[in-house]
A and B are shown apart, each in its own frame.
Chain A
Protein backbone atom coordinates (compact mmCIF):
# COMPACT_ATOMS: atom_id res chain seq x y z
CA UNK A 1 0.00 0.00 0.00
CA UNK A 2 1.06 3.56 -0.49
CA UNK A 3 0.94 4.14 3.25
CA UNK A 4 3.78 1.77 4.01
CA UNK A 5 5.80 3.33 1.21
CA UNK A 6 6.04 6.64 3.06
CA UNK A 7 9.36 6.75 4.83
CA UNK A 8 9.08 10.17 6.41
CA UNK A 9 5.99 12.21 6.98
CA UNK A 10 6.15 15.58 8.68
CA UNK A 11 2.77 16.91 9.76
CA UNK A 12 2.04 20.44 10.94
CA UNK A 13 5.45 20.80 12.48
CA UNK A 14 5.87 23.92 14.57
CA UNK A 15 9.01 25.13 16.26
CA UNK A 16 9.75 28.19 18.35
CA UNK A 17 12.63 29.43 20.41
CA UNK A 18 12.13 31.38 23.58
CA UNK A 19 14.70 34.14 23.57
CA UNK A 20 15.55 37.16 25.63
CA UNK A 21 13.72 39.42 23.19
CA UNK A 22 10.63 37.23 23.10
CA UNK A 23 9.47 34.14 21.27
CA UNK A 24 10.85 33.51 17.81
CA UNK A 25 8.62 31.34 15.63
CA UNK A 26 10.89 29.41 13.31
CA UNK A 27 8.66 26.79 11.72
CA UNK A 28 4.98 27.49 11.18
CA UNK A 29 3.08 24.28 10.52
CA UNK A 30 5.17 22.75 7.82
CA UNK A 31 4.23 19.43 6.24
CA UNK A 32 6.27 17.31 3.90
CA UNK A 33 6.59 13.72 2.77
CA UNK A 34 9.30 11.41 1.48
CA UNK A 35 8.87 8.01 -0.11
CA UNK A 36 11.48 5.30 0.15
CA UNK A 37 14.36 6.02 -2.21
CA UNK A 38 12.93 9.39 -3.18
CA UNK A 39 15.09 12.49 -3.65
CA UNK A 40 13.46 15.56 -2.24
CA UNK A 41 14.85 19.08 -1.99
CA UNK A 42 13.99 21.68 0.60
CA UNK A 43 14.96 25.08 -0.79
CA UNK A 44 15.12 28.44 0.92
CA UNK A 45 17.37 31.27 2.05
CA UNK A 46 19.30 31.56 5.33
CA UNK A 47 16.97 31.76 8.28
CA UNK A 48 14.08 30.12 6.47
CA UNK A 49 14.13 27.08 8.75
CA UNK A 50 15.76 24.50 6.49
CA UNK A 51 18.52 23.41 8.84
CA UNK A 52 16.39 23.30 11.99
CA UNK A 53 14.08 20.91 10.16
CA UNK A 54 16.95 18.45 9.75
CA UNK A 55 17.94 18.97 13.38
CA UNK A 56 14.41 18.12 14.48
CA UNK A 57 14.40 14.97 12.37
CA UNK A 58 17.62 13.89 14.09
CA UNK A 59 16.39 14.87 17.54
CA UNK A 60 19.10 17.44 18.05
CA UNK A 61 16.94 20.26 19.39
CA UNK A 62 16.24 19.57 23.04
CA UNK A 63 17.24 22.77 24.77
CA UNK A 64 14.95 24.16 27.43
CA UNK A 65 13.97 27.16 25.32
CA UNK A 66 12.73 25.04 22.41
CA UNK A 67 9.06 24.34 21.98
CA UNK A 68 7.91 21.95 19.26
CA UNK A 69 4.55 20.71 18.10
CA UNK A 70 3.25 18.47 15.36
CA UNK A 71 4.44 15.06 14.22
CA UNK A 72 7.49 13.61 12.50
CA UNK A 73 6.55 10.12 11.42
CA UNK A 74 9.50 7.97 10.42
CA UNK A 75 8.71 4.37 9.49
CA UNK A 76 5.17 4.74 10.87
CA UNK A 77 6.48 5.91 14.24
CA UNK A 78 6.35 9.42 15.68
CA UNK A 79 9.93 10.35 16.51
CA UNK A 80 9.52 14.02 17.44
CA UNK A 81 9.67 13.42 21.19
CA UNK A 82 11.76 10.27 21.40
CA UNK A 83 14.31 10.05 24.19
CA UNK A 84 17.98 10.55 23.37
CA UNK A 85 18.81 6.89 23.97
CA UNK A 86 16.20 5.90 21.40
CA UNK A 87 17.47 8.51 18.98
CA UNK A 88 20.96 7.09 19.35
CA UNK A 89 19.75 3.88 17.72
CA UNK A 90 18.29 5.77 14.78
CA UNK A 91 21.12 8.22 14.13
CA UNK A 92 23.78 6.83 11.85
CA UNK A 93 21.83 3.61 11.31
CA UNK A 94 18.46 4.66 9.91
CA UNK A 95 19.03 8.36 9.37
CA UNK A 96 22.37 9.99 8.70
CA UNK A 97 23.47 13.48 7.76
CA UNK A 98 26.03 15.26 5.62
CA UNK A 99 26.93 18.78 6.62
CA UNK A 100 27.94 21.78 4.56
CA UNK A 101 31.59 22.09 5.49
CA UNK A 102 33.25 18.66 5.37
CA UNK A 103 36.40 19.75 7.19
CA UNK A 104 34.36 21.19 10.05
CA UNK A 105 32.15 18.11 10.16
CA UNK A 106 35.11 15.86 10.91
CA UNK A 107 36.76 15.88 14.32
CA UNK A 108 40.13 17.64 13.83
CA UNK A 109 42.02 15.65 16.50
CA UNK A 110 41.14 12.13 15.36
CA UNK A 111 42.41 10.27 12.34
CA UNK A 112 39.83 9.37 9.70
CA UNK A 113 40.10 5.67 10.58
CA UNK A 114 39.08 6.37 14.19
CA UNK A 115 36.09 8.37 13.03
CA UNK A 116 35.07 5.50 10.78
CA UNK A 117 35.46 3.14 13.74
CA UNK A 118 32.99 5.17 15.73
CA UNK A 119 30.46 5.03 12.91
CA UNK A 120 31.05 1.33 12.34
CA UNK A 121 30.46 0.60 16.03
CA UNK A 122 26.97 1.92 15.47
CA UNK A 123 26.21 -1.16 13.41
CA UNK A 124 27.23 -3.51 16.25
CA UNK A 125 30.46 -4.91 17.65
CA UNK A 126 33.44 -4.68 15.34
CA UNK A 127 37.20 -4.85 15.84
CA UNK A 128 39.41 -1.93 14.87
CA UNK A 129 41.04 -4.04 12.19
CA UNK A 130 37.75 -5.06 10.63
CA UNK A 131 36.52 -1.50 10.80
CA UNK A 132 39.65 -0.38 8.96
CA UNK A 133 39.10 -2.96 6.23
CA UNK A 134 35.42 -2.09 5.94
CA UNK A 135 36.24 1.61 5.61
CA UNK A 136 38.98 0.83 3.12
CA UNK A 137 36.59 -1.09 0.93
CA UNK A 138 33.94 1.63 1.11
CA UNK A 139 36.45 4.35 0.19
CA UNK A 140 37.74 2.29 -2.71
CA UNK A 141 34.20 2.07 -4.05
CA UNK A 142 33.97 5.86 -4.22
CA UNK A 143 37.13 5.85 -6.35
CA UNK A 144 39.58 7.04 -3.74
CA UNK A 145 42.82 5.56 -5.00
CA UNK A 146 44.79 5.39 -1.77
CA UNK A 147 42.27 4.64 0.99
CA UNK A 148 44.98 3.57 3.45
CA UNK A 149 46.62 6.96 3.32
CA UNK A 150 43.28 8.75 3.67
CA UNK A 151 42.34 6.63 6.68
CA UNK A 152 45.67 7.37 8.37
CA UNK A 153 45.27 11.13 7.82
CA UNK A 154 43.83 13.86 9.95
CA UNK A 155 40.98 15.91 8.43
CA UNK A 156 43.17 18.98 7.78
CA UNK A 157 45.40 16.89 5.54
CA UNK A 158 42.56 16.29 3.08
CA UNK A 159 41.36 18.62 0.35
CA UNK A 160 37.77 19.84 0.48
CA UNK A 161 36.59 17.52 -2.25
CA UNK A 162 38.29 14.47 -0.74
CA UNK A 163 36.96 15.29 2.73
CA UNK A 164 33.44 15.55 1.31
CA UNK A 165 33.81 12.11 -0.31
CA UNK A 166 34.92 10.74 3.06
CA UNK A 167 31.97 12.35 4.83
CA UNK A 168 29.49 11.04 2.25
CA UNK A 169 30.98 7.54 2.51
CA UNK A 170 30.82 7.71 6.28
CA UNK A 171 27.19 8.77 6.19
CA UNK A 172 26.31 5.93 3.83
CA UNK A 173 28.37 3.10 5.34
CA UNK A 174 25.55 1.76 7.50
CA UNK A 175 23.11 1.92 4.58
CA UNK A 176 20.63 4.33 6.14
CA UNK A 177 17.04 4.60 4.95
CA UNK A 178 17.18 8.38 4.97
CA UNK A 179 20.07 10.70 4.23
CA UNK A 180 19.83 14.34 5.22
CA UNK A 181 22.16 16.46 3.11
CA UNK A 182 22.50 19.97 4.48
CA UNK A 183 24.08 22.09 1.72
CA UNK A 184 26.44 19.24 0.85
CA UNK A 185 28.06 21.02 -2.08
CA UNK A 186 27.96 24.72 -1.24
CA UNK A 187 31.48 24.86 0.16
CA UNK A 188 32.94 23.14 -2.89
CA UNK A 189 34.18 24.18 -6.32
CA UNK A 190 31.83 23.73 -9.26
CA UNK A 191 33.55 20.66 -10.67
CA UNK A 192 33.98 19.04 -7.26
CA UNK A 193 30.41 19.98 -6.42
CA UNK A 194 29.20 18.00 -9.41
CA UNK A 195 31.30 15.01 -8.39
CA UNK A 196 29.93 15.13 -4.84
CA UNK A 197 26.34 15.21 -6.13
CA UNK A 198 27.01 12.35 -8.54
CA UNK A 199 28.55 10.32 -5.74
CA UNK A 200 25.57 10.93 -3.46
CA UNK A 201 23.28 9.93 -6.28
CA UNK A 202 25.18 6.74 -6.97
CA UNK A 203 25.44 5.59 -3.36
CA UNK A 204 21.85 6.34 -2.44
CA UNK A 205 20.56 4.67 -5.58
CA UNK A 206 22.44 1.48 -4.70
CA UNK A 207 20.87 1.21 -1.25
CA UNK A 208 17.49 2.76 -2.15
CA UNK A 209 18.11 5.49 0.40
CA UNK A 210 15.82 8.51 0.42
CA UNK A 211 17.52 11.91 0.42
CA UNK A 212 16.32 15.19 1.86
CA UNK A 213 18.55 17.77 0.22
CA UNK A 214 18.75 21.15 1.90
CA UNK A 215 20.05 23.92 -0.33
CA UNK A 216 19.57 27.47 -1.55
CA UNK A 217 20.88 26.75 -5.02
CA UNK A 218 18.15 26.00 -7.56
CA UNK A 219 20.79 24.72 -9.99
CA UNK A 220 21.70 21.96 -7.56
CA UNK A 221 18.02 21.16 -7.04
CA UNK A 222 17.51 20.79 -10.76
CA UNK A 223 20.42 18.41 -11.02
CA UNK A 224 19.55 16.22 -8.09
CA UNK A 225 15.97 16.24 -6.83
CA UNK A 226 12.71 14.71 -8.00
CA UNK A 227 10.36 16.62 -5.73
CA UNK A 228 10.84 20.13 -4.34
CA UNK A 229 9.53 22.07 -1.35
CA UNK A 230 10.23 25.80 -1.19
CA UNK A 231 10.40 27.23 2.31
CA UNK A 232 10.32 30.89 3.28
CA UNK A 233 10.49 32.14 6.87
CA UNK A 234 9.17 28.90 8.29
CA UNK A 235 6.34 28.47 5.81
CA UNK A 236 6.30 26.13 2.85
CA UNK A 237 5.23 28.38 0.00
CA UNK A 238 5.31 25.93 -2.89
CA UNK A 239 5.61 22.23 -3.53
CA UNK A 240 5.73 20.18 -6.70
CA UNK A 241 7.80 17.93 -8.87
CA UNK A 242 11.01 19.24 -10.31
CA UNK A 243 9.50 19.72 -13.76
CA UNK A 244 6.43 21.55 -12.45
CA UNK A 245 8.53 23.87 -10.37
CA UNK A 246 11.10 24.74 -12.99
CA UNK A 247 8.78 24.96 -15.97
CA UNK A 248 5.90 26.59 -14.23
CA UNK A 249 6.80 28.19 -10.89
CA UNK A 250 3.61 29.31 -9.18
CA UNK A 251 4.66 31.27 -6.13
CA UNK A 252 6.30 34.71 -6.42
CA UNK A 253 9.09 33.64 -4.06
CA UNK A 254 9.97 30.62 -6.19
CA UNK A 255 10.10 32.91 -9.18
CA UNK A 256 12.39 35.30 -7.31
CA UNK A 257 14.69 32.40 -6.37
CA UNK A 258 14.92 31.26 -9.98
CA UNK A 259 15.43 34.75 -11.32
CA UNK A 260 18.18 35.64 -8.86
CA UNK A 261 20.58 33.07 -10.32
CA UNK A 262 22.94 34.62 -12.89
CA UNK A 263 22.29 32.88 -16.20
CA UNK A 264 24.78 31.31 -18.55
CA UNK A 265 23.15 33.20 -21.43
CA UNK A 266 24.76 36.36 -20.04
CA UNK A 267 21.72 38.63 -20.18
CA UNK A 268 23.12 40.66 -17.31
CA UNK A 269 22.40 40.43 -13.62
CA UNK A 270 18.82 40.04 -12.42
CA UNK A 271 17.19 43.24 -11.23
CA UNK A 272 15.82 43.40 -7.75
CA UNK A 273 12.65 44.47 -6.15
CA UNK A 274 13.99 46.64 -3.32
CA UNK A 275 10.81 46.21 -1.29
CA UNK A 276 9.69 42.64 -1.86
CA UNK A 277 6.31 41.61 -0.47
CA UNK A 278 6.14 39.34 2.58
CA UNK A 279 6.14 36.11 0.63
CA UNK A 280 5.06 34.17 3.71
CA UNK A 281 1.65 35.87 3.57
CA UNK A 282 0.99 34.80 -0.01
CA UNK A 283 -0.99 31.58 -0.30
CA UNK A 284 0.87 28.32 -0.76
CA UNK A 285 1.00 27.07 -4.31
CA UNK A 286 0.51 23.35 -4.81
CA UNK A 287 0.83 21.86 -8.26
Chain B
Protein backbone atom coordinates (compact mmCIF):
# COMPACT_ATOMS: atom_id res chain seq x y z
CA UNK B 1 0.00 0.00 0.00
CA UNK B 2 2.78 2.39 0.96
CA UNK B 3 6.12 1.79 -0.63
CA UNK B 4 9.17 3.54 0.70
CA UNK B 5 11.88 3.26 -1.86
CA UNK B 6 15.48 4.05 -0.98
CA UNK B 7 14.64 7.19 0.95
CA UNK B 8 17.41 9.32 2.45
CA UNK B 9 17.19 12.57 4.35
CA UNK B 10 19.89 14.82 5.72
CA UNK B 11 19.62 17.77 8.04
CA UNK B 12 22.13 20.55 8.40
CA UNK B 13 22.54 21.79 11.93
CA UNK B 14 25.00 24.67 12.06
CA UNK B 15 27.90 23.14 10.15
CA UNK B 16 27.14 19.56 11.04
CA UNK B 17 25.49 17.14 8.72
CA UNK B 18 23.05 14.73 10.30
CA UNK B 19 21.95 11.75 8.28
CA UNK B 20 18.44 11.29 9.67
CA UNK B 21 17.48 8.55 7.22
CA UNK B 22 19.86 6.46 5.19
CA UNK B 23 18.46 4.48 2.24
CA UNK B 24 15.30 3.22 3.86
CA UNK B 25 13.27 0.59 1.99
CA UNK B 26 9.96 -0.53 3.42
CA UNK B 27 6.65 -1.84 2.20
CA UNK B 28 3.60 -1.26 4.34
CA UNK B 29 0.67 -3.39 3.33
CA UNK B 30 -3.01 -2.73 3.71
CA UNK B 31 -4.45 -3.35 7.20
CA UNK B 32 -1.00 -3.66 8.70
CA UNK B 33 -0.32 -2.42 12.16
CA UNK B 34 3.20 -1.45 11.34
CA UNK B 35 5.40 -0.52 14.28
CA UNK B 36 8.44 1.70 13.92
CA UNK B 37 10.72 1.35 16.93
CA UNK B 38 13.91 3.09 17.97
CA UNK B 39 15.42 5.52 20.44
CA UNK B 40 15.29 9.30 20.11
CA UNK B 41 17.21 10.43 17.09
CA UNK B 42 16.78 7.16 15.22
CA UNK B 43 14.76 8.81 12.46
CA UNK B 44 11.29 7.49 13.33
CA UNK B 45 9.60 10.86 13.29
CA UNK B 46 11.51 12.05 10.21
CA UNK B 47 10.19 9.00 8.39
CA UNK B 48 6.65 9.82 9.51
CA UNK B 49 7.06 13.41 8.37
CA UNK B 50 8.18 12.32 4.93
CA UNK B 51 5.22 9.96 4.59
CA UNK B 52 2.95 12.82 5.67
CA UNK B 53 4.54 15.28 3.25
CA UNK B 54 5.92 17.63 5.88
CA UNK B 55 9.48 17.09 4.68
CA UNK B 56 10.82 16.41 1.22
CA UNK B 57 13.26 13.52 1.07
CA UNK B 58 16.68 14.14 -0.48
CA UNK B 59 16.74 10.87 -2.37
CA UNK B 60 14.36 8.03 -3.12
CA UNK B 61 10.63 8.00 -3.70
CA UNK B 62 7.40 7.31 -1.93
CA UNK B 63 4.44 5.45 -3.41
CA UNK B 64 0.87 5.11 -2.30
CA UNK B 65 -0.55 2.20 -4.30
CA UNK B 66 0.18 3.21 -7.90
CA UNK B 67 0.58 6.89 -7.17
CA UNK B 68 3.81 8.67 -6.36
CA UNK B 69 3.61 11.11 -3.46
CA UNK B 70 5.64 14.31 -3.24
CA UNK B 71 5.82 17.00 -0.62
CA UNK B 72 3.24 19.12 -2.41
CA UNK B 73 0.06 17.12 -2.45
CA UNK B 74 -3.48 17.72 -3.60
CA UNK B 75 -6.41 17.59 -1.24
CA UNK B 76 -7.23 14.01 -2.14
CA UNK B 77 -3.69 12.84 -1.37
CA UNK B 78 -3.56 14.71 1.91
CA UNK B 79 -6.79 13.13 3.02
CA UNK B 80 -5.38 9.62 2.72
CA UNK B 81 -2.86 9.84 5.53
CA UNK B 82 -3.67 11.41 8.89
CA UNK B 83 -1.61 11.97 11.98
CA UNK B 84 -2.00 11.59 15.76
CA UNK B 85 0.77 13.23 17.71
CA UNK B 86 2.54 12.35 20.90
CA UNK B 87 1.61 15.11 23.27
CA UNK B 88 -2.14 15.56 23.61
CA UNK B 89 -1.59 18.80 25.54
CA UNK B 90 0.03 20.60 22.63
CA UNK B 91 -1.72 19.00 19.69
CA UNK B 92 -5.10 20.68 20.21
CA UNK B 93 -5.56 24.41 19.69
CA UNK B 94 -6.33 25.82 23.15
CA UNK B 95 -8.46 28.60 21.69
CA UNK B 96 -10.83 26.36 19.75
CA UNK B 97 -13.67 24.27 21.08
CA UNK B 98 -13.63 20.54 20.51
CA UNK B 99 -16.38 21.03 17.93
CA UNK B 100 -14.37 23.42 15.80
CA UNK B 101 -11.24 21.28 16.15
CA UNK B 102 -12.95 18.15 14.90
CA UNK B 103 -15.06 19.89 12.28
CA UNK B 104 -12.08 21.57 10.59
CA UNK B 105 -11.02 18.51 8.56
CA UNK B 106 -14.70 17.90 7.72
CA UNK B 107 -14.91 21.38 6.24
CA UNK B 108 -11.55 21.30 4.48
CA UNK B 109 -12.24 18.00 2.80
CA UNK B 110 -15.93 18.84 2.29
CA UNK B 111 -16.95 15.51 3.77
CA UNK B 112 -20.39 16.58 4.95
CA UNK B 113 -22.72 19.51 4.24
CA UNK B 114 -22.66 22.45 6.61
CA UNK B 115 -25.94 21.55 8.29
CA UNK B 116 -24.74 18.00 8.94
CA UNK B 117 -21.50 19.04 10.63
CA UNK B 118 -22.82 18.83 14.15
CA UNK B 119 -24.32 15.40 13.63
CA UNK B 120 -21.07 14.10 12.16
CA UNK B 121 -18.94 15.50 15.01
CA UNK B 122 -21.25 13.81 17.51
CA UNK B 123 -20.83 10.57 15.63
CA UNK B 124 -17.02 10.90 15.58
CA UNK B 125 -16.98 11.59 19.30
CA UNK B 126 -19.07 8.50 19.90
CA UNK B 127 -16.54 6.38 17.97
CA UNK B 128 -13.88 7.38 20.49
CA UNK B 129 -16.23 6.85 23.43
CA UNK B 130 -17.00 10.47 24.29
CA UNK B 131 -20.31 12.18 25.01
CA UNK B 132 -21.66 14.92 22.69
CA UNK B 133 -21.51 17.39 25.61
CA UNK B 134 -17.75 17.63 25.03
CA UNK B 135 -18.31 19.58 21.78
CA UNK B 136 -18.57 22.93 23.54
CA UNK B 137 -15.61 22.37 25.84
CA UNK B 138 -12.05 23.67 25.43
CA UNK B 139 -8.98 21.38 25.48
CA UNK B 140 -7.70 22.54 28.87
CA UNK B 141 -10.85 21.23 30.54
CA UNK B 142 -10.10 17.69 29.34
CA UNK B 143 -7.85 15.04 30.85
CA UNK B 144 -4.84 13.69 28.93
CA UNK B 145 -6.69 10.56 27.81
CA UNK B 146 -9.70 12.58 26.66
CA UNK B 147 -7.49 14.94 24.66
CA UNK B 148 -5.87 11.99 22.94
CA UNK B 149 -9.34 10.64 22.09
CA UNK B 150 -10.24 14.00 20.54
CA UNK B 151 -7.02 13.92 18.52
CA UNK B 152 -7.96 10.47 17.26
CA UNK B 153 -11.49 11.62 16.38
CA UNK B 154 -10.01 14.55 14.45
CA UNK B 155 -7.74 12.22 12.50
CA UNK B 156 -10.71 9.96 11.71
CA UNK B 157 -12.80 12.90 10.52
CA UNK B 158 -10.92 13.10 7.22
CA UNK B 159 -11.79 9.44 6.51
CA UNK B 160 -8.18 8.40 5.97
CA UNK B 161 -6.81 5.08 4.80
CA UNK B 162 -3.69 5.33 6.92
CA UNK B 163 -3.18 6.67 10.43
CA UNK B 164 0.28 7.59 11.60
CA UNK B 165 0.38 7.33 15.38
CA UNK B 166 3.45 9.02 16.80
CA UNK B 167 3.87 7.79 20.39
CA UNK B 168 0.12 8.12 20.96
CA UNK B 169 0.20 6.80 24.50
CA UNK B 170 3.60 7.61 25.97
CA UNK B 171 2.31 10.73 27.71
CA UNK B 172 -0.48 8.77 29.38
CA UNK B 173 -0.86 6.71 32.56
CA UNK B 174 -0.75 2.96 32.22
CA UNK B 175 -4.46 2.41 32.78
CA UNK B 176 -5.45 5.22 30.42
CA UNK B 177 -2.85 3.98 27.97
CA UNK B 178 -4.35 0.55 27.75
CA UNK B 179 -7.85 2.05 27.29
CA UNK B 180 -6.61 4.21 24.39
CA UNK B 181 -4.79 1.24 22.83
CA UNK B 182 -7.93 -0.88 23.04
CA UNK B 183 -9.84 1.96 21.40
CA UNK B 184 -7.29 2.21 18.59
CA UNK B 185 -7.58 -1.50 17.88
CA UNK B 186 -11.37 -1.29 17.79
CA UNK B 187 -11.29 1.65 15.38
CA UNK B 188 -8.78 -0.11 13.17
CA UNK B 189 -11.13 -3.07 12.72
CA UNK B 190 -14.18 -0.89 12.22
CA UNK B 191 -12.72 1.37 9.54
CA UNK B 192 -10.25 -1.04 7.92
CA UNK B 193 -7.37 1.27 8.66
CA UNK B 194 -3.66 0.80 8.24
CA UNK B 195 -1.59 1.97 11.20
CA UNK B 196 1.96 3.19 11.26
CA UNK B 197 2.72 3.05 14.93
CA UNK B 198 5.79 4.96 16.08
CA UNK B 199 6.94 4.16 19.58
CA UNK B 200 9.79 3.22 21.85
CA UNK B 201 7.57 1.07 24.05
CA UNK B 202 8.25 -2.47 22.90
CA UNK B 203 5.76 -4.18 25.16
CA UNK B 204 3.00 -2.22 23.43
CA UNK B 205 4.41 -3.21 20.04
CA UNK B 206 4.45 -6.87 21.03
CA UNK B 207 0.73 -6.76 21.72
CA UNK B 208 -0.71 -4.73 18.89
CA UNK B 209 1.61 -4.70 15.86
CA UNK B 210 1.88 -7.44 13.25
CA UNK B 211 5.11 -6.11 11.77
CA UNK B 212 7.93 -4.20 13.33
CA UNK B 213 10.92 -2.31 12.03
CA UNK B 214 13.72 -1.41 14.42
CA UNK B 215 15.65 1.72 13.50
CA UNK B 216 18.90 3.13 14.77
CA UNK B 217 20.60 6.30 13.58
CA UNK B 218 18.62 6.37 10.34
CA UNK B 219 19.30 2.77 9.37
CA UNK B 220 17.02 -0.24 9.57
CA UNK B 221 18.48 -2.61 12.15
CA UNK B 222 15.85 -5.27 11.88
CA UNK B 223 12.54 -5.85 10.15
CA UNK B 224 10.06 -8.67 10.38
CA UNK B 225 6.91 -10.09 11.86
CA UNK B 226 6.53 -8.96 15.44
CA UNK B 227 6.34 -12.44 16.89
CA UNK B 228 9.48 -13.61 15.13
CA UNK B 229 11.47 -10.52 15.98
CA UNK B 230 10.61 -10.83 19.66
CA UNK B 231 11.22 -14.56 19.89
CA UNK B 232 14.43 -14.50 17.97
CA UNK B 233 15.94 -11.04 17.56
CA UNK B 234 18.87 -10.98 15.19
CA UNK B 235 20.52 -7.65 15.83
CA UNK B 236 22.28 -6.80 19.08
CA UNK B 237 20.45 -3.51 19.27
CA UNK B 238 17.03 -5.19 19.14
CA UNK B 239 18.12 -7.51 21.93
CA UNK B 240 19.20 -4.52 23.98
CA UNK B 241 15.87 -2.84 23.44
CA UNK B 242 13.89 -5.92 24.42
CA UNK B 243 16.03 -6.43 27.50
CA UNK B 244 15.41 -2.85 28.57
CA UNK B 245 11.64 -3.29 28.82
CA UNK B 246 10.55 -2.84 32.43
CA UNK B 247 8.55 -6.00 33.12
CA UNK B 248 6.22 -6.95 35.96
CA UNK B 249 6.12 -10.74 35.78
CA UNK B 250 8.83 -13.37 36.22
CA UNK B 251 7.59 -15.26 33.18
CA UNK B 252 8.23 -12.14 31.08
CA UNK B 253 11.86 -12.04 32.19
CA UNK B 254 12.31 -15.54 30.85
CA UNK B 255 11.27 -14.29 27.41
CA UNK B 256 14.07 -11.76 27.25
CA UNK B 257 16.94 -12.70 24.94
CA UNK B 258 20.31 -13.51 26.50
A interface residues with partner B (beta carbon < 8 Å): 45-46, 159-161, 189-194, 216-220, 222-223, 246, 256-258, 260-272
Contact = CB atoms under 8 A, between A and B. Distances in A.
A284 to B, nearest CB: 19
Interface in B170-193: 173-179, 181-182, 185
B255 A264 contact: yes
Nearest to A253: B175
| Chain B facing A: main interface SS | helix
B200 interface: yes
B178 A262 contact: yes
Contact of B245 (A190, A192, A260): A190
A191 B242 CA distance: 9
Contact of A45 (B173, B204, B207): B173
Given A194-B246, A257-B175, A266-B206, 8 more contacts: A159-B40, A191-B240, A192-B39, A218-B246, A246-B249, A264-B202, A264-B256, A272-B178
23 contacts: A46-B176, A189-B39, A190-B202, A190-B244, A190-B246, A194-B244, A217-B174, A218-B174, A218-B246, A222-B248, A223-B246, A260-B175, A260-B177, A261-B174, A261-B178, A261-B203, A262-B204, A262-B208, A263-B249, A264-B203, A264-B230, A264-B256, A269-B207
The residue in B178, B179, B226, B240 that gathers the most chain A C-beta atoms within 10 A of its C-beta is: B178
Interface string B238-258: 001110111111011001100
B201 interface: yes
Contact of A191 (B39, B248, B252): B39
Given A216-B173, A272-B178, A189 B200 contact: yes
A265 B252 contact: yes
Nearest to B253: A264
B139 interface: no
A269 B200 contact: no
A192 to B, nearest CB: 7
A191 B244 contact: yes
A191 B202 CA distance: 11
B176 A45 contact: yes
Interface in B208-245: 208, 226-227, 230, 240-242, 244-245
| Chain A facing B: main interface SS | loop
A190 B207 contact: no
B174 A266 contact: no
Given A265-B255, A270-B178, A271-B182, A222 B246 contact: yes
B153 to A, nearest CB: 19
Contact of A189 (B40, B185, B208, B226): B40
B207 A160 contact: no
A266 B208 CA distance: 8
Contacts of A217: 174, 246
Contacts of A161: 40
Contact of B203 (A45, A256, A262, A272): A262
B144 interface: yes
A220 B144 contact: no
Given A262-B203, A262-B207, A269-B207, A193 B244 contact: yes
Nearest to B246: A219
Contacts of B41: 159
Contacts of A223: 246
